[in-house]
Amino acid sequence: MHTNSNTEPFRIAGLGTALVTPFAADGSLDRAALRRLIQFQIAGGVDFLVPLGSTGEASTLDDAEQLQVVETTLDEAGDRVPIVVGCSHNDTRALIQRAGQFSALGARHVLSASPYYNKPTQEGIYRHYRALREATGLNVVAYTIPGRTGGNILPDTMVRLVDNGIVCGIKEASGSILQIQQTCRLVGGRCAVFSGDDAMTLPVMAVGGAGVIATASNAVPGAMRRWVDELREGRFDLARERLPALLPLFDACAAEPNPIPIKAALHLIGLGEPVYRLPLVPPASATVDALRQALQPFLE
């Protein structure tokens, strides 16, 4: 196995924000706005940051822009919070090449979705992650999100990946609480399992999850951090009391494909322009109204 002397042990838990990638009015990458967003997240107390996920519109960024996002995020965050870089591809060779470029910039952790479109078997998924880990030595967080990839990473495959030291974290967005419970039971204590869906955070953490990689925290990092802390401390009564204020925002953020609503939410609080790259388009006025109403309690 490749060894990377700079790779750090994976001790990440709690609230991670899947960062939006800000664009300027002309559609170009807005690195200054990204720096402001990162500062806002750190000031809000997030535990770690995740650039280049689906929330970051990574699929529409060219190779140079992806490197710029990683470089900017690492530079702005410094050593204040860990960075888990989104790094997904359905071509294993291309994935390894991209991960190597991120590693050269200083990345130590990657979040990698199961290969999309190809529809590999569970064995193919296992070998895909094994090849990534062996070639780069990076800490790998496996990401199962069948709604976007067309494939699922089953609990038994997760166990193989954990048992063989290939992955050190799991982002679970299968939508199946039964699958999540099975995964947490099988790898609990040996691997951090994160909710990949804001609205599933409470049940995921109730069955042993380590935290959430969230979308809504782009706009309300402080409120999300307090809520996740209560869940981590087992104060579920308090967390349930806080949930009604958050649910309308979770609902509004899910009204249209991510990151359409959350970018609009950031615009409403003065943190970026609602600029998207096709095929994503601005939200409907009803979504913006719902976001404005959902954000109101956090602005008072």
Q: How confident is the model at residue 10 (pLDDT cuts 50, 70, 90)?
A: confident
pLDDT at 36 exceeding the cut of 50: yes
The reply to whether 76 falls in a domain is yes
The predicted pLDDT at position 7 comes to 53
What is the Cα–Cα distance from 140 to 98, expressed in whole angstroms? Answer: 14
Q: Distance between CA 65 and CA 73 in Å, rounded?
A: 12
CA distances from 7 to 129, 138, 140 (A): 17, 6, 11
For residues 187 and 15, what is the distance between their CA atoms, to the nearest angstrom?
A: 20
Residue 190 lies in a domain: yes
CA distance 13 to 121: 30
pLDDT tens for 253-271 read: 999 999 999 999 999 999 9
pLDDT value of residue 11: 86
Let me know if residue 57 belongs to a domain. Answer: yes
Q: Are 12 and 81 in contact (CB under 8 A)?
A: no
Percent with pLDDT over 90 in the chain = 95
Q: Is the dihedral of CA 185, 187, 189, 193 positive or negative?
A: negative
Question: What DSSP element (H or E) covers 70?
Answer: helix 63-77
User: Higher confidence at residue 251 or residue 8?
Assistant: 251
- The 10s digit of each residue's pLDDT in 157-179 is 999 999 999 999 999 999 999 99
In this structure, is residue 292 part of a structural domain?
A: no
pLDDT score recorded for residue 188:
85
How far apart are the C-alpha atoms of 162 and 262, rounded to whole Å? Answer: 33
The total number of structural domains that make up the chain: 1
Give the span between the Cα atoms of 291 and 286, in whole angstroms: 9
Kindly list the catalytic residues.
143, 171
Q: Is 86 helix (H, G, I), strand (E, B) or coil?
A: strand
Smallest CA-to-CA distance from 262 within 19, 15, 14, 40 is with 19
The whole domain housing 127 covers: 14-235
Phi-psi region of 170 (alpha: psi -120 to 50; beta: other; left: phi over 0): beta
Span 168-197, average pLDDT: 96
Does residue 272 form part of some domain? no
- Domain harbouring 18, CATH code: 3.20.20.70
Report if residue 121 sits inside a domain: yes
**Does a structural domain hold residue 247?**
no
Asked whether residue 271 is assigned to any structural domain, the reply reads: no
Q: What counts of helices (H) and strands (E) characterise the chain?
A: 12, 8
